[in-house]
């Protein structure tokens, strides 16, 4: 626990357990990177991957800030929305969610071998099997790619689950429906590039994801 990861509100929804953090990271592949660029705050969506100790993410915008201040802190968030909480009163409405925040000073990955490893983690995290299927980055492409590594050491998790909290209060007598409206995301059927020659079908690791749940 640090001052930045301490839960000050709704502490019962918070967790500092590494297993909870990893579960949230593994359920998604898009994060939001918060960084100060040229004196202005900026939050950028980008893809990520991880190993046991670090988060790897594309960070061309953040690299501008790091060039000016190598010790500039960032904050990365990952959020999954699991549904709406619809109560008897608007005040008690809410969202069921899983969310993680990671704080720290990222480092720019410059070693070519480590950059390839990080990009593989990132690619396989979003589309398992794709790294060995598609052409890998050339030296020129690798040099043009900015990859950041952020330690997972300073992170916290918050989750919200369950029904509305006004079922035993005065509003229970209003006769208004209350409950949860779940939200799930599923992968669709692969759509072939119109410029692809006939006869090239989606590989099993892509075709097999259609209809499966993401997150």
Asked if 190 contacts 135 with a C-beta cutoff of 8 angstroms, the reply is: no
CA angle 214/92/85 to nearest 5° reads 20
Residue 10 has a pLDDT of: 59
As a whole number, mean pLDDT of residues 30-44 equals: 91
Share of the chain above pLDDT 90, in %: 78
> With 80 as the cut, is the pLDDT of residue 183 above it?
yes
As a whole number, mean pLDDT of residues 163-181 equals: 93
**Residues 144-159 pLDDT 10s:** 999 999 999 999 999 9
Residue 37 has a pLDDT of: 85
CATH code, residues 11-164 = 2.30.110.10
The dihedral sign for the CA sequence 141, 67, 53, 215: negative
> With 70 as the cut, is the pLDDT of residue 61 above it?
yes
Share of the chain above pLDDT 70, in %: 94
Which DSSP state fits 169? Answer: S
**Residues 95-114 pLDDT 10s:** 999 999 999 999 999 999 99
Rg of the chain over CA atoms, in angstroms?
21
- C-alpha to C-alpha distance for 159 and 3, rounded to whole angstroms: 19
Q: Where do the domains of the chain lie?
A: 11-164, 184-215
Mean pLDDT of all residues in the chain? 91
As a whole number, mean pLDDT of residues 183-203 equals: 96
Q: What is the pTM of this model?
A: 0.89
Question: C-alpha distances in angstroms, 192 versus 75, 134, 208?
Answer: 36, 15, 15
């Amino acid at each position: 626990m640090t001052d930045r990861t301490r839960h000050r509100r709704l502490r019962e929804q918070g967790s500092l357990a590494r297993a909870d953090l990893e579960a949230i990271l593994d359920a998604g592949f898009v994060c939001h990177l918060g960084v100060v660029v040229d004196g202005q705050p900026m939050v950028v969506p980008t893809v990520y991957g991880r190993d046991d100790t670090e988060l790897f993410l594309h960070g061309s915008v953040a690299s501008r800030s790091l060039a000016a201040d190598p010790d500039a802190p960032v904050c990365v968030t990952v959020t999954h929305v699991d549904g709406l909480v619809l109560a008897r009163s608007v005040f008690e409405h809410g969202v069921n969610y899983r969310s993680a925040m990671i704080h720290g000073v990222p480092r720019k990955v410059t070693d070519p071998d480590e950059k390839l490893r990080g990009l593989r983690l990132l690619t396989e995290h979003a589309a398992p099997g794709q790294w060995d299927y598609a052409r890998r980055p050339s030296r020129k492409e690798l040099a043009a790619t900015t990859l950041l590594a952020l330690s997972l050491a300073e992170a916290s998790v918050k989750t919200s689950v369950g029904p509305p909290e006004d079922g035993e209060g005065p509003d229970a007598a209003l006769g208004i429906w209350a409950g949860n409206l779940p939200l799930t995301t599923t992968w669709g059927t692969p759509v072939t590039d119109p410029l692809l020659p006939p006869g090239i079908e989606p590989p099993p690791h892509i075709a097999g994801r259609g209809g499966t749940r993401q997150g």
